[in-house]
Amino acid sequence: MTEYNIKELKSGGLMKQKEKDIFSLRLRIVGGFVKSEQLIKLSEIADRFGKGYIHLTTRQGIEIPNVNIKDFEKVKKELNEAELQMGACGQRVRTVTACQGKECSHGLIDCLMLAREIDHKYFGIGGHPHKFKIGITGCPNACIKPHENDLGILGRLKKRFVREKCNYCGLCAEICPVGAIEVDKDDEKIVFNAEKCIGCGDCVYSCPTDAWQKRQEGYTIFVGGKMGKFPKLGIKAFDFIETKEKVFEVIEKTLEFYKKFGNKGERFRETLDRVGVEKYKETVS
């Protein structure tokens, strides 16, 4: 294969390197999840068709550098046998990133499952003005950096306080990272500032008497984050969405909004800045 369309190949995850006919192959790794047997296969492919190493991207992806284009079909066949697929570049929805979610002691939502569902529905869909990135993080620690994505999802928790169970030990006040709880041990009083609360759930999971209890898990959505030459953090568009179905509705309407109002070559944040966040909220709500 001596003639090829670089732009077309890039859209399918093949990125041209400086050397003639040499490409880096980007794989579709959802939520950073890779099986051990897949890692072994990737090692074999990198040894045989590359230079014996792989590259881990900033978005949890895997790239196999230094592959000759003439070997691509062989590599693709072996990747498919290992249930690995090519990724995507260009003006389309990229692979969804996610933290460990509930496998982490702080995780409030099942990030990997949600990432797989979103990726299954939207991965690789083109027709957008520019690339569109989605990231999911399990709690307000925000390890996956949802604020840096075109659409970021953050797990949060709403709680309730059962006064009869409280022994006023003060642990919840000590552990709260934002000082939303005050405990008067002498007068046996609890003061909770709901406006300060970030919904991390630390008080719920540390309370020795189960006085603080989980009421509901939900999702905060940020939009318009991006890095690159002109970085901007995402804007909180929805403070607390109660259901996964509503999250999908927001994603669907957000992509429709981007297609309708975005100019060619314009990142989603630039569309929001030009059209207005309030118009976006009115359209998507």
Measure the CA angle with vertex 36, ends 15 and 71; round to 5°.
35
pLDDT beneath 70, residues of the chain: 1-2
* pTM score, whole prediction: 0.94
What is the tens place of the pLDDT at every residue in 228-270? 999 999 999 999 999 999 999 999 999 999 999 999 999 999 9
92 located within any domain: no
**Among 81, 113, 147, where does a domain finish?**
81
Phi, psi of 221 (to 5 degrees): -120, 130
> Which pLDDT value is given to residue 2?
57
Q: Which long-range contacts (CB under 8 A, 24 or more apart) does 139-144 make?
A: 139/104, 139/106, 139/107, 139/108, 139/200, 139/201, 140/198, 140/199, 140/200, 141/106, 141/200, 143/99, 144/97, 144/98, 144/99, 144/111
Residues 143 and 227 in one domain: yes
Tokens of 102: 């509930």
Residues 106 and 167 in one domain: no
Phi, psi of 262 (to 5 degrees): -75, 140
58 located within any domain: yes
> Which pLDDT value is given to residue 1?
47
Summary mean pLDDT of the chain: 96
Residues 133 and 64 in one domain: no
> Which pLDDT value is given to residue 19?
95
196 located within any domain: yes
Question: What count of other Cβ atoms lies within 10 Å of the Cβ of residue 104?
Answer: 15
Measure the CA angle with vertex 157, ends 154 and 159; round to 5°.
165
* C-alpha span between 149 and 97 (Å, rounded): 10
Q: Checking DSSP bridges between strand 62-68 and strand 134-137, what pairing results, if any?
A: unpaired
Tokens of 272: 């929001």
Phi, psi of 30 (to 5 degrees): -85, 125
Residues 12 and 112 in one domain: no
Residues 125 and 240 in one domain: yes
Closest CA to 203 of 162, 149, 240, 244: 162
The three-state DSSP-derived secondary structure of 29-63 is CHHHCCCHHHHHHHHHHHHHHCCCCCEECCCCCEE
Residue pair 191/161 in contact by the 8 Å Cβ criterion = no
> Which pLDDT value is given to residue 21?
95
> Which pLDDT value is given to residue 257?
98
CATH number at residue 165: 3.30.70.20
> Which pLDDT value is given to residue 4?
81
91 located within any domain: no
10 located within any domain: yes
Residue pair 94/151 in contact by the 8 Å Cβ criterion = no
Task: Tell me how many domains the chain contains.
Answer: 3
Domain hosting residue 113, numbered range: 97-156+217-284
What is the tens place of the pLDDT at every residue in 57-95? 999 999 999 999 999 999 999 999 999 999 988 899 999
177 located within any domain: yes
Q: Could you tell me which residues come within 8 angstroms of residue 129 by beta carbon, excluding any fewer than 6 positions away?
A: 91, 258, 259, 262, 263, 264, 265, 266, 267, 268, 271
